[in-house]
Amino acid sequence: MTADASAHNISRIIQTICPFCGVGCGIGLRVEQEKITGVEPLASHPVSQGKLCAKGWSTAYAVDPIDRITTPLIRENGSFRPASWDEAYQVITEAFLAAAAEKGADAVGVIACARATNEDCYAAQKFARAVLGTNNIDHCARICHSPSVAGLRQTLGSGAMTNSIDDIEKADLIVIFGCDPTENHSVLGGRIIGAKMAGARLLVVDPRLTRLARMADLHLQLQLGTNIALINGLLQIIFANGWEATEFLSSRCENETALRAKVAEYPPERVAAITGVPEEKLIAAARMYAKAERALLTYGMGITQYTTGTNNVISISNLALVAGQIGREGTGINPLRGQNNVQGACDMGALPNVFPGYQEVAQQTNRDKFADHWQKKLPENKGLTSLGMTKGALSGEVRCMLIMGEDPVVTDPDQHHVQRALEALDLLVVIELVMTETAAMADVILPAAAFSEKAGTFTNCERRVQLIQPAIAAPGEAKPDWQILGELASRLGYHHMDWPNAEAIFNEIAALSPLYQGMSYPKLAENHGLQWPCNEQAPNGTPLLHRQQFSRGKGRLIPVSHADPAEVPDEAYPLFFTTTRLHYHYGCGSMTRKSPLLERETPSGILFINPADAQALAIKPQTKVRISSRRGEVETGAIITDEVPPGTVAMPYHFKEAPSNRLTNTAQDPVTKMPELKACAVRVTNLEVEHK
């Protein structure tokens, strides 16, 4: 055996970042004989501190070569056949050029991926703008945290987590709005539990009786879709009792008078009637938050996934500003990102209205800057969102789409609507690891390298940009997304995406984005990553935003009003329906369901139903039920639990055989086009009774 061959057989640990949620834990991939054989936590990592959740421990299964797509595939006579890269590129270029010739550049759309690297997402938005000539570029932040970006940019000037994960241990009150970090962001959730055990108080606002709600000092179990009414009510109580941060408001905020007038419309008795939360609990919560020395507020998609999503986020900001609970350690507004690189994909400009670094495409100076660097005239008009592209496909305005690593057939609302749209396209191209439900509908599939097979960076929820590095070679002919897009760009006549490696792309990102300006691969490696903004003013990054002033100058208080969800229960569909996540699964399930350990815990779709509703329908544990909405129906087994209140049922969205998004509503937030995934009306039928 040669020395080189012997070296390949030596067990080694490759340090990298977990590919699941937005916490960004450090992991070590154990490699033996060029295979990943295990995972271990990194004791020195500043975020995870030697811990991993069940998903993190199962990372090896997520990148198992079994069932991987390893060569380009072209649909022919209803099935896929292997093809060469040249043939696949030829089919794509001909279709893209034909669509643009017939309908214009906006006839093609690109969906980037929040699980891909910053370098991949940067390449995707550059491909859309510089190669295709369109701002039709989006990704799954549209259906998770686009209201966070839009809302917080209006009020603070920056749409990201204001504090660091380490601030959990510095807070004396932790407020959880519309999420359960012990399910979705387990290592962070563990740190919240640790802080609670060490003496911090815990306030949970959630329609569900979650694990953290059971531990809380106070749980506000509000009705679905009443976040604004509740927060306006808390603000009314704070102002009425003189608990506001007077000096902070006068020196650092604007528009206080208008906000006071609006929240005066929400006295405790009215808010109690709207939300279902007793007046005494509203008063106790207002006192807890306003009187806390350091209150850290975090929230999830129970805030954002509504037609009022942007206004929900604005109301969260109003609360923090009025109480002065921002700009200090242990405080702040901290949205939890669902996927490992949602923050980074947004930072990279994989959105229809901004270039990398949130530089508006509508501003001529920004277009000139990027046009000069990319050597291409750039489109002026804001592009379509992902749901806008779906609508455009149905109308015939969007003729081709390239989807990079996302599975909208499972994750987007109204599954039948999405399927009809993709079927209407002239050409659907999917860059993917495995055969997802969306990939199965493609005309061309291109094999992608997994996170463990390429270099790059992820940006976690606390704005920490972290290096990943390849542990093994990609199987077959699979390539990094950025390389695929660069080669396709060359076929389309654009030759400024032929980067030699991922580091060259990152250097281009740093040159164009002020947020990443002071970063480099060596510097990231030295520091376990850096938190943006990182530039001349903050060469070592910025753990805490808005310390002295807000990004927009003064924090803006914006009055907002309560509005019901677009669809509420009625006689035909008498129950509220909401979506949720499970501890052992993630996203569309394409990664976690490859793990026998995780699949064993929750192997199939389920419906959570309150005991009172179950009794009324003669439902017992695991009874087969049909859940119907105005858009479709799903059959699955029932779980009876007090986690959901009477009148509300919930389903996770990880299971393609029981897709909750066959039921959900496409009604949208007018600002961000966020669909209302958290509330619609359904009817539940006991199939065992029906079949008797």
Q: For position 607, what pLDDT does the model report?
A: 92
Report the C-alpha gap between 517 and 539 in whole angstroms: 9
Share of the chain above pLDDT 90, in %: 81
Q: Where are the alpha helices (DSSP H) in 110-185?
A: 118-126, 146-155, 181-184
Count of alpha carbons within 13 angstroms of residue 660, beta-carbon side: 28
Helix axes of 146-155 and 309-323: crossing angle, nearest 10 degrees: 40
Residue 586 has pLDDT above 70, yes or no: no
Tokens of 466: 């972290």
- For position 331, what pLDDT does the model report? 98
Higher pLDDT: 45 or 67? It is 45
- pLDDT at residue 412 above 80? no
Work out the average pLDDT over 461-478.
96
* Separation of alpha carbons 291 and 498, rounded Å: 56
- Output the pLDDT for position 6: 46
How far is 607 from 341, CA to CA, in rounded Å? 29
Q: Give the pair of three-digit tokens for residue 146.
A: 């686009």
In DSSP terms, 639 is beta-bridged to 608
Q: Give the C-alpha separation, 285 to 175, whole Å.
A: 10
- The yes-or-no verdict on residue 254 having pLDDT over 80 is yes
Residue-level pLDDT at 689 = 76
Please, what sign has the CA dihedral across residues 545, 547, 548, 553?
positive
For residue 197, give every residue at least 6 positions away whose Cβ sits within 8 Å of its Cβ, in sequence order, or none.
Answer: none
Residue appearing with tokens 């390298």: 449
Query: Confidence class of residue 140 from pLDDT cuts 50, 70 and 90?
Result: confident
Among 42-51, 97-106, 445-454, 641-650, the range scoring the smallest mean pLDDT is 42-51
Q: How confident is the model at residue 60 (pLDDT cuts 50, 70, 90)?
A: confident
Average pLDDT value for residue range 117-138? 98
Pairwise CA distance, residues 184 & 212, whole Å: 12
Domain 162-336 has CATH 3.40.50.2300: no
Q: Which residues contact residue 383 at a Cβ distance below 8 angstroms, ignoring those fewer than 6 apart?
A: 106, 109, 128, 134, 135, 136, 137, 138, 352, 353
pLDDT of residue 598: 62
For the chain, domain boundaries: 73-142+340-531, 162-336, 575-690
Is a pLDDT exceeding 80 seen at residue 540? Answer: yes
Q: Which residue has the tokens 């499970």?
A: 582
What six digits make up the tokens of 459? 């940006």
User: CATH code for 575-690?
Assistant: 2.40.40.20
Query: Would you call 369 helix, strand, or coil by DSSP?
Result: helix
Q: Which amino acid is located at 438 in the chain?
A: T
* Residue 609: closest CA among 593, 596, 622, 591: 622
Contact yes or no for 91/444 (Cβ under 8 A) = yes
Which strand (E) or helix (H) includes residue 403? strand 400-404
Compute how many other C-beta atoms are within 10 angstroms of the C-beta atom of residue 684. 21
**How does strand 680-686 pair with strand 456-459?**
unpaired
What's the mean pLDDT in 106-113?
97
Has residue 690 got a pLDDT over 80? no
Nearest Cα neighbor of 325 from 142, 203, 451, 432 is 203
pLDDT at 417: 85
Cβ contacts of 1 within 8 Å, gap of 6 or more:
9
* Sequence-distant (≥ 6) Cβ neighbours of residue 3 within 8 angstroms: none
For residue 7, what pLDDT band results from cuts at 50, 70 and 90? low
Nearest one of 596, 638, 635, 633 to 616, comparing CA atoms: 638
- Among residues 44, 51, 40, 50, which one has the least CA distance to residue 471? 40
Q: Which residue has the tokens 């407020």?
A: 175
Residue 3 reports pLDDT greater than 50: no
Q: What is the pLDDT of residue 580?
A: 84
Tell me: the pLDDT tens digits for 479-503? 999 999 999 999 999 999 999 999 9
**Average pLDDT in the chain:** 92
Mean pLDDT of 455-482: 97
CA dihedral sign, ordered 239, 301, 392, 93: positive
pLDDT in tens, 341-377: 999 999 999 999 999 999 999 999 999 999 999 999 9
Asked whether 237 and 286 are in contact (CB, 8 A), the reply is yes
Task: With CA atoms as reference, report the closest residue to 385 among 663, 112, 21, 679.
Answer: 112
Q: What is the pLDDT of residue 601?
A: 60
CB-CB contact of 42 with 24 (8 Å): no
Higher pLDDT, 171 or 20: 171
pLDDT confidence tier of residue 197, bands split at 50, 70 and 90: very high
Q: Map tokens 């792309």 to a residue.
A: 505
Structure tokens given for 308: 């009022």
User: Is the pLDDT at 1 greater than 70, yes or no?
Assistant: no
Distances in Å between the alpha carbon of 288 and those of 202, 260, 273, 381?
Answer: 10, 20, 22, 46
Token pair for residue 65?
């070569």
- pLDDT at 61 (0 to 100): 72
pLDDT band for 253, please (50, 70, 90 cuts): very high
Task: Kindly report, residue by residue over 66-106, the tens digit of the pLDDT.
Answer: 789 999 999 999 999 999 999 999 999 999 999 999 999 99
Q: How far apart are CA 473 and CA 454, in angstroms?
A: 8
Contact between 375 and 626 under an 8 Å Cβ cutoff? The reply is no
Q: What is the pLDDT of residue 371?
A: 98
Hey, which CATH number is domain 73-142+340-531, 3.40.30.10, 3.40.50.1010, 1.10.3720.10, 3.40.50.740? 3.40.50.740
Mean of pLDDT values over 182-209:
95
- 520: CB partners within 8 A, 6+ apart: 506, 507, 510
Two tokens at 340?
């490992």
Q: Which amino acid is at 370?
A: F
**Residue of 527, 457, 513 whose CA lies nearest to 24:** 457
Answer left, alpha or beta for residue 546, where phi above 0 means left and psi between -120 and 50 means alpha.
Answer: left
Number of H helices, E strands in the chain: 27, 28
User: Quick one: pLDDT at residue 661?
Assistant: 80
